[in-house]
């Protein structure tokens, strides 16, 4: 029996949530879906195994690249917990989208969680989350899930969301390199969608970019930015939805 967390976490918020949930597990392996070209072997699970699949919600949907990479994994009836992580606006169809993808891989879903993390672009929303109180609550959720596993109850919970899923929006916030860029290439190496040209890191393919903000968060000289005017406009547009303190949720 093995415990594995399968994560897509470009800026670390989803990983923090996943770690808080999996903290009580005796030993945890990690599959990182956000690192391109890592060449992990295709993971094959067994029915006695337990997987935690954690992804961020971008505009109410899971990142398509994360779902595609998840599709390379063979669940074989292993028990599965889903975690959709969002920046305090809404996760909309993310959980049901993850549910469909996980079941297609052969996982058996026994619980799901929606969790809050600091917004990856507008950092004023859900700033500092998951915080200490969140981590305590998520650990409590994990304990309830562990009890369900121990009881042998494998009933799938009903998850919120719509099918067909909402239509994916455009990606207007594409980070660009400023004068401080040293062309070290770290952003190109770590970009989940390989949208940055490794031979010219100042160049970004806007069609491949998913606005995950990994390049912004890892740049050692803070050279990559998104258009400040556009960020301010986007922040204003979602201010009402994001200003309310939202809570983590457990579906079991």
Assign residue 199 the CATH number of its domain.
Answer: 3.30.70.20
- Write the pLDDT tens digit of every residue in 48-63: 999 999 999 999 999 9
Shared domain for 153 and 205, answered yes or no, is no
Strands 108-116 and 249-251: antiparallel
| Mean pLDDT of the 125-141 span | 98
Shared domain for 35 and 85, answered yes or no, is yes
Strands 224-225 and 176-177: antiparallel
Q: What's the pLDDT score for residue 38?
A: 59
Shared domain for 51 and 8, answered yes or no, is yes
Q: What's the pLDDT score for residue 30?
A: 94
Total domain count, the chain: 2
204 within domain boundaries: yes
Shared domain for 202 and 156, answered yes or no, is no
223 within domain boundaries: yes
Residue 224 is part of which domain span? Answer: 176-240
| Mean pLDDT of the 124-141 span | 98
191 within domain boundaries: yes
- Write the pLDDT tens digit of every residue in 3-34: 999 999 999 999 999 999 999 999 999 999 99
Domain end, chosen from 130, 164, 198, is at 164
List of E strands, the chain: 3-7, 28-32, 50-56, 79-86, 108-116, 176-177, 224-225, 249-251
Cα 146 versus chain centre, distance: 22
| Mean pLDDT of the 136-150 span | 97
Shared domain for 64 and 157, answered yes or no, is yes
Domain end, chosen from 103, 137, 164, is at 164
Shared domain for 35 and 7, answered yes or no, is yes
245 within domain boundaries: no
Percent of the chain with pLDDT over 70: 97
169 within domain boundaries: no
User: What pTM does this model have?
Assistant: 0.95
């Amino acid at each position: 029996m093995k415990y594995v967390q399968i994560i897509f976490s470009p800026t670390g918020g989803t990983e923090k949530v996943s770690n808080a949930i999996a903290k009580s597990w005796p030993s945890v392996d990690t599959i990182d879906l956000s690192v391109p070209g890592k060449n992990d072997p295709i993971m094959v699970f067994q029915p006695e195994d337990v997987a935690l699949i954690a992804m961020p919600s971008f505009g109410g949907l899971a990142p398509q690249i994360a779902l595609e990479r998840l599709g390379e994994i063979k669940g074989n009836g292993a028990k599965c917990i889903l975690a959709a992580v969002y920046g305090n606006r809404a996760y909309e169809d993310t959980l049901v989208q993850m549910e469909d993808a996980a079941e297609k891989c052969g996982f058996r879903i026994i619980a799901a969680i929606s969790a809050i993390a600091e917004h990856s672009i507008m950092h004023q929303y859900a700033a500092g989350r998951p915080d200490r109180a969140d981590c305590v609550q998520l650990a409590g959720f994990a304990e309830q899930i562990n009890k369900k596993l121990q009881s042998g109850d494998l009933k799938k919970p009903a998850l919120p969301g719509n099918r067909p899923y909402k239509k994916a929006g455009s990606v207007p916030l594409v980070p660009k390199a400023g004068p401080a860029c040293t062309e070290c290439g770290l952003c190109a190496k770590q970009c989940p969608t390989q949208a940055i040209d490794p031979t010219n890191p100042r160049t970004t393919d806007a069609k491949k970019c998913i606005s995950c903000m990994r390049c912004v968060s890892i740049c050692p000289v803070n050279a990559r930015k998104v258009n400040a005017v556009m960020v301010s406009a986007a922040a204003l547009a979602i201010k009402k939805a994001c200003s309310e303190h939202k809570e983590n949720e457990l579906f079991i």
